[in-house]
Structure 1
């Protein structure tokens, strides 16, 4: 859930207290932006079994100065040191560095899927579980940026060295924030540096995934 609230002491505490009174458990808080006396924060929460996401939005909307930017269902939150764990795994297994990043990216960015694309063609070379069926992607100028797909899905794209790019998607959610794009870009750049030292034959085996079979 993404919320906008006043950037002053106690504002986030009031939101957390309101959620706690109805049994909502906050797993993670990430501050995305602080400017002009306003803050944008992502909350990862677990709802009671009978509660719908719309009820949470209504609870927060009743707090003066708080505005809900959007809410979406995602996988379980990860520990805050998971970024480091992903980088450690890529260093330990450089031949699988691209796979490790793609498979971890959905949880790292609270998204639903991720795919590595060949440059410049845009063909999928590896995709995470539940990636929808996608054809070749028009990459254009390869730089970190947020996009919106024709079906309304929110996308984040970042270069992964000169040979690949990573595309991350989520549904029914706000656009990827610049803070999230920076995170993806840093991880992609680090992974690309690991891949640079991998002999070409070890990069092989990145077979074209047929995403429609992934559930």
Structure 2
């Protein structure tokens, strides 16, 4: 095989593999890991078997392909985010509650003070679409706790569990779901390393949660 053909095939393989990983549906962090491993393997193959000039050439193609696909993935992610106000947030939550099922809803407060709602109700709001409530006059923790009360009841132990995590600086992700409208709602808290309580400067004053977070 001519040296130039080997380099072209290697570069084409890098581009195709990088794009395949991006459109595979893997999460962003997992996709980045796959791309790094795949590129390292391809460059090792080129280094072992190709001419000396092919390594920097394929490496440059690999870098361009990785950056391009990373930006494309970020654009796709940002395209799934819709910014909404508190009234629309409550409307979407009610739409989830009134759907026939199966129903699922996720709510969390990011370190930026943004409340993120992921609601699966019908074809208009498929999985993966996120609704962001930007910081404003409403306490983000109150918005989340309202969903625990409305869906699971005032006495549900999940409320105390959530506040216990807040005291440690961890902002857990609330997930509520049920298989059909005839079944009761079930809830649980999910943890992620980057779910941290926003600083006081990124949330409005709250007589309920400020003492809790200062404890």
Give the TM-score normalised by the residue count of structure 2: 0.25
Greater CA radius of gyration, 1 or 2? 2
